[in-house]
Structure 1
Amino acid sequence: MTGKTVTRADLAESVFRKVGLSRTESAELVETVIDEICHAIVRGETVKLSSFATFQVRNKKERIGRNPKTGEEVPISPRRVMTFKASNVLKQRVLKSHLSRKAKKKPVSPEA
């Protein structure tokens, strides 16, 4: 892992370099896309970005949980949670990247 985090600024810079919009327009475009995704998720809609992922809101029912320290049963209230499901295309790209990195790091065994 590289430890690098991609930020909104990084996305805007990428749009600036690849699309040719100004830096301000690129930042506004990225912000608009992120806002639209957020608003759709808050409305309870499913957001599907083909070849990337699906974001979905699910309702969880009330259930009984347990305090791990005391063992005491505690009710967990019903809530809405967002789920992220990577597409098969993204999963394959991650796997391919992992395998290629693993192959590069493989030590060369001495010939006997």
Structure 2
Amino acid sequence: MTKHDIVECIYGKYQGTLTRNVVKDIVTSVFDEIIREMSEDGEAKISRFGTFKVAERNAKQARNPRTGEPVMIEDRKVPKFKPSRYLQNKVNNLPVDDMKDEDD
């Protein structure tokens, strides 16, 4: 599913109430807020969906697969996602407790 698909799905549900451009702006704003929260606090939790975190990777020495020459890879940060128990159960077609609204 792409961002465009999300916009079209939401637009289809609210057609006549919201314009496609407004829906696109809302979806973009949600993604921008997740990115901002991750870059500032290192974590963004969304109930019943999951947690986006920033993990740190240490520097390491690797090899260029073509030449075999050693290459140093610097420290870096990488985004990670941990799905909530609710999302995990939905994906696996397991029963979900709709009353709970918490992440793992």
Q: TM-score, normalised by structure 2?
A: 0.70
Q: Which has the higher contact order (CA 8 A, sep 6+)?
A: 2
Task: Return the match for 2:11 from 4, 12, 16.
Answer: 16
Residues 53-94 of structure 1, C-alpha deviation per residue, up to 9 Å, x if partnerless? Answer: 111111222234455677765433211111111111111111
Measured at CA, do residues 67 and 44 of structure 1 come closer, stay the same or move farther in structure 2, by a change above 3 Å? farther
Percent identity among equivalent residues? 35
Whole-angstrom CA distance in 2 between matches of 1:44 and 1:14: 30
Root-mean-square deviation over aligned CA pairs: 2.3
Task: Return the match for 1:59 from 56, 59, 64.
Answer: 56
* Structure 1: stretches of 5+ with no match in the other structure: 1-5, 98-112
Task: Return the match for 1:31 from 6, 28, 33.
Answer: 28
Q: Which structure's CA Rg is the greater one? A: 1
* Structure 2: stretches of 5+ with no match in the other structure: 95-104
Greater mean alpha carbon deviation, residues 59-68 or residues 35-44: 59-68
